[in-house]
Amino acid sequence: MTRVVHCVDTHCEGEPTRVVVGGVVGVPGATLLDKMRHLQTVDDRLRRHLLFEPRGSAPLSATLVLPAVDPRADASFLIMESASYEGMSGTNTLNTAMALLETGMLRMTEPVTQLTLEAPAGLVQVTADCVAGRCQRLTFENVPSFATQLGVPVDVPGVGRLHVDIAYGGAWVAFVDVEPLGYALVPSEARAIAELGERIRPHVVRAVKISHPTVPALRHLSFVVLTAPARDGGNGRNATVVSPGRLDRSPTGTATSARLAVLAAKGLLRIGDSFVNESIISTKFVGRIVAKIQIGPYEAIIPSITGRSWITGFHQIVVADDDPLADGFTLGDTWGAAVHAGVLNQAVDRPSTPT
């Protein structure tokens, strides 16, 4: 065998994460960001082994748990997704924190455990409500989130003129209300919604200039988020379309943070207010506005995101030295059109920030 990797498989409100807890001795780099860049630019095999077929699938993400570099952190983790490495991710943070606590890698304190995890983008504070050895709920505070443009007209051939809200919630998000287009954001619409989001994306990119006021390098539109009225007791519903054209199963931490910022900019939410965001499968994140802060010309919010996470299995990924598919493969039937452009066959280098 070339490699055996020990994993805890998890999901957070339906979004799966494969948490690597053993089999990787170390990753070169003085900082956690250096370690991420090493995997990204020098040796991308671990991500491909974990996430590409025949061992993985398009919706799956992975995190690699490592000893903390920053002495203030309890542990560190690197984030690998189907088309990229990320500086931070909400669902991956919650899944990783839960796995560390419920397997005993970090000590659980009942009824509340406070954790500091180190992501490549920085330190993340996590609070876990714990009962009888289980994390019943987990909450993290996200980076300052803000809306930059509301109701921007974007013409999409074959769809029509859309009015798009642009916001930052740790990643740049374009929100489109699809109720007028006849969508309810239910599971039977999943493939059509994913294709619609990818159809909308390039026209938003051409029509809207995106630039973070304090970190100009952050100018990549990560998600097109389609919104509709709530259907299962929440305050709203969304479907996050992720490259290469698949849907987040959870309500998405970044999207929920950005949506709170949009609602605050429209005067619909204030400090202390909560917003229950439903996913396409009716799982929920509770977003809350903790505080307000000025970011350049924008009035930003500090959001917190609360969700639930579960262990789904313990997995040993095995790579045999004579396996011709050791480095994995992707097919366009489930991985989207980006496969044909070669996007998924390399580590995508884009700016990373807490999400």
- Give 301-338 pLDDT, tens digit per residue: 999 999 999 999 999 999 998 999 988 988 877 777 65
pLDDT at 282: 97
Choice among 42-51, 69-78, 339-348 with the minimum mean pLDDT: 339-348
- Give 204-218 pLDDT, tens digit per residue: 999 999 988 887 777
pLDDT at 233: 95
Contact 86, 55 (CB under 8 A): no
Residue spans of the domains in the chain: they are 3-140+310-345, 146-308
**Residue 228 reports pLDDT greater than 70:** yes
Selecting among 89, 279, 282, 304, the annotated active-site residue is: 89
pLDDT at 171: 83
Mean pLDDT of the region 40-57:
93
Which is more confidently placed, 340 or 260?
Answer: 260
Contact 291, 244 (CB under 8 A): no
Mean pLDDT of the region 54-64:
93
Superfamily designation of domain 146-308: Diaminopimelate Epimerase; Chain A, domain 1 (3.10.310.10)
CB neighbourhood size of 112 (10 A)? 10
What is the Cα–Cα distance from 64 to 8, expressed in whole angstroms? 11
Token pair 């990787």 is at which residue? 24
Question: pLDDT > 90: what percent of the chain?
Answer: 76
- The structure tokens listed for 26 are 């170390």
Mean pLDDT of the region 274-292:
97
Class of domain 3-140+310-345: alpha beta
Contact 15, 249 (CB under 8 A): yes
Which is more confidently placed, 279 or 348?
Answer: 279
Does 89 participate in catalysis according to the annotation?
Answer: yes
Half-sphere exposure for 201 (CA within 13 Å, toward CB): 23
**Residue 352 reports pLDDT greater than 80:** no
* Dihedral (Cα; 150, 155, 160, 162), 10-degree rounding: -10
What is the Cα–Cα distance from 38 to 26, expressed in whole angstroms? 11
1 — pLDDT class (breaks 50, 70, 90): low
pLDDT at 341: 42
**Residue 140 reports pLDDT greater than 60:** yes
Contact 57, 81 (CB under 8 A): no
- Give 76-116 pLDDT, tens digit per residue: 999 998 878 887 788 999 999 999 999 999 999 999 999 99
What is the Cα–Cα distance from 188 to 8, expressed in whole angstroms? 30
3-140+310-345 matches 146-308 in fold: yes
Token pair 């074959």 is at which residue? 158
Token pair 């807890």 is at which residue? 21
